[in-house]
Amino acid sequence: MLGDTRLPRRQRRARTLVGGVALLAATALALSGCTSADAPAGQAPSQGSSASPAADLTLKIGTLLPQSGGLAFQGPAQEAGVALAVKDINEADMGITIDVAYRDSGDTTTDTSNIALTDLLGDGATAIVGTASSGLTLSLIDRVADAGVLMMSPAASSPKLSDYPDKGLLWRTAPSDVLQGEVLGTTIAADGHSTLGMVVLNDPFGTSLAEVVKENFEAAGGKVVSQALFNEGDSSFDAQISEVTAAKPDAIALITFEQVKIIVPKLVSGGFPSENLYFVDANLADYSAELAPGLLTGAKGTKGSPLVDTGFNDRLLELDPSLTDFAYAAESYDAVVVIALAALAANDTTGNGMASKLQEVSGGSGGGTKANSFVDAAKIIRDGGVVDYDGASGPISFGDNGDITEANIEIFQYKDDNTYALWEG
């Protein structure tokens, strides 16, 4: 049932930059697809201000975030971000109350997400925060859109989501991997590598990101000499490791989830230098408790880095003291806030009603007054104005396709203890 506001238990850690070159601001990511402009007749986006709500709104939100599966190590931070946003919104008493239910998305090897979605839809959720996986998001969006429910992913990054025909109901606060792939591909080349091998998860996230990495690495003068695919749920990667190393690449990019915990020890013990390994956002994590010291020394990785200060993470720790990884917590927080602001602006908690105002409240349609907190943003709306919300993850600014139009992609490097920090190169 909706109304279970307890934060599920979980754990782990994240954060880092492109040494001296790290910050990539991408504007003009607007591909066609999941946009408020595609809302059904009668729900066309409004560019003007809205009247203050006549009565308090109650919004039922469900989460589909990873409590199990290959991305479970990121789930606790995402759920903590949701919980903190719900707390801030409910305590603000600005005319909207959030009723939230946390559910497990699992991964593509199980039917967990479908069962959880059925539960949430049956209980009347009109907005869903999730999923973290591009593959799961693509597998669920038709059901979600057909139900007229808004879906806001804080982490799914496949470019395939940008132009998916989702009835204007799929949005995301994480950047498309068009950005991460550009930074990763050019960084590998800038590090002096001329040949690249890749071990790639065979799903919309893995194959799409690999394609962008290849395009940018080869545009910089390099050559991808091997790309070995595996499927989610596989437990042995010997064939992929053999295929990639046989091509004798200078560097290897690991476009995976937590499968790196099995792949890396075999690569390094087989003689491949750890400093020539490259990670991505879906596997960049603290492995100090799981891998032998020194196993990752010098390896690099890319990740979208929100513009958060330590105060935000401290607030998350007050809710869940076991957190050691904050990946996508800020994006999850902002997902809830922009949904709530859109509901206030539309005076409507239906999926289509909220979708019609998301671009406006994010500043994507221009002309709004800047606000950096839910309270300040809500006041602007209730006073009859138009808000431009910039949140814990930075500027949101949704484009016509539901993607954010700006992002920071940073480069991190592993230390001897298998933790990582911003690359200072």
Q: Compute the distance between CA of residue 411 and CA of residue 21 in angstroms, rounded to an integer.
A: 9
For the stretch 146-185, pLDDT in tens is 999 999 999 999 999 999 999 999 999 999 999 999 999 9
- From residue 325, how far is each of 304, 316, 341 by CA, in Å? 14, 11, 27
Q: Do 178-304+409-422 and 36-176+310-395 fall under one CATH topology?
A: yes
**For residue 377, what are the contacts with CB-CB under 8 A and spacing of at least 6?**
337, 341, 361, 371, 387, 389
- One-letter amino acid at 223 equals K
Q: Compute the distance between CA of residue 283 and CA of residue 253 in angstroms, rounded to an integer.
A: 11
- From residue 312, how far is each of 48, 84, 301, 307, 378 by CA, in Å? 32, 10, 23, 10, 20
For the stretch 260-288, pLDDT in tens is 999 999 999 999 999 999 999 999 999 99
Q: Compute the distance between CA of residue 394 and CA of residue 109 in angstroms, rounded to an integer.
A: 33
Q: Compute the distance between CA of residue 214 and CA of residue 419 in angstroms, rounded to an integer.
A: 27
Averaged over 205-222, what is the pLDDT? 98
- From residue 162, how far is each of 73, 143, 149 by CA, in Å? 26, 18, 18
Which of 14-18, 215-219, 260-264, 349-353 comes out lowest in average pLDDT?
14-18
pTM of the model: 0.85
Q: Which CATH architecture fits 36-176+310-395?
A: 3-Layer(aba) Sandwich (3.40)
Q: What is the CATH number of domain 178-304+409-422?
A: 3.40.50.2300
Q: How does strand 409-414 pair with strand 394-395? A: unpaired
Domain chopping of the chain, boundaries: 36-176+310-395, 178-304+409-422
